[in-house]
Amino acid sequence: MENSFCHRHIILEKIAHVGFGEISMCAAIDWGGFTWQAFATIFSGFLAVCAAVAVAIRQMKLQQRIANDNMLIQKHVASINEMTFREKLFDRRMAFFDTIRAGMDDALSKNPSCDNSVDLTEKAFSEAPFLFPPTVMAWIDPAIGLINTVAAAEKERERYLAEGWGVPDHVYTKSGDARRELYRLKRSMYAVFGTEMMLGH
């Protein structure tokens, strides 16, 4: 029993000795030597780090703003290009519309031209398919065909008259039938072209 007590006493003394040693090590730090100059150095470093972080954040925000501005500029440029394209398309459609309307007016006049179909046929095959959708082309094709029929009948009539012969009835019949059908198509002209002639379409 006595030996056990002595053993515990020895252990406690060792623990106390170790603890006091650690305390003495902490006490060995010279806190009094920590001058204001050292504190200023540490604080200056801290401020420098904070300033660097603030600059980095500001640069990130600036880069994001520049990226957003560039995106808006690109969208604006794309919108301008689209408007320019639509304007040019509108001009070409209007030019074709005026041409075919003039051709119909001539074919329906009292003295239609026998050469009326040349420009219209060329425009119809070279331009119209790229300017108008199939729904409008379904109107354009027969209209130009009828204009050509009237022009051909007029040319045939002039040939008979130039040769001193009477004009056969089938020439007048062919021209009259084509003119009646052409007049019917002309009445629906604005309804067919209406939507396609809008500038924003």
**Terminal C-alpha separation, the chain:** 109
* C-alpha pair distances (Å), 55 with each of 39, 49, 69, 185, 193: 24, 10, 21, 72, 60
* Token representation of residue 112: 């239609």
Counting Cβ atoms within 10 Å, is residue 177 exposed (0-12), middle (13-18) or buried (19+)? middle
pLDDT at 31 over 60: no
For 148-189, the pLDDT digits (tens) are 888 888 888 888 888 888 889 998 899 899 999 999 999 999
For 59-103, the pLDDT digits (tens) are 898 888 888 888 888 888 888 888 888 888 889 888 888 888 888
Any idea of the CA torsion for 95, 97, 100, 105, to the nearest 10 degrees? Answer: -110
* Token representation of residue 127: 């331009």
- CATH number 3.10.310 given to 85-197: no
- Average of per-residue pLDDT values in the chain: 79
Residue 199 CB neighbour total at 10 angstroms: 12
Instruction: Give the pTM.
Output: 0.60
pLDDT at 109 over 90: no
Q: Are 200 and 86 in contact (CB under 8 A)?
A: yes
pLDDT at 10: 52
pLDDT at 161: 87
Whole-angstrom Cα distance, residue 171 to residue 112? 14
pLDDT at 87: 87
The alpha carbon of 154 is separated from its chain's Cα centroid by a whole number of angstroms, namely 49
* C-alpha pair distances (Å), 43 with each of 23, 47, 50, 55, 147: 29, 6, 10, 18, 93
Query: Which residue type occupies 84?
Result: T
Whole-angstrom Cα distance, residue 119 to residue 23? 110
pLDDT at 154: 87
* Token representation of residue 107: 């074919």
Q: Are 124 and 144 in contact (CB under 8 A)?
A: yes
Whole-angstrom Cα distance, residue 200 to residue 62? 37
Q: Which residue has the tokens 């002309």?
A: 186
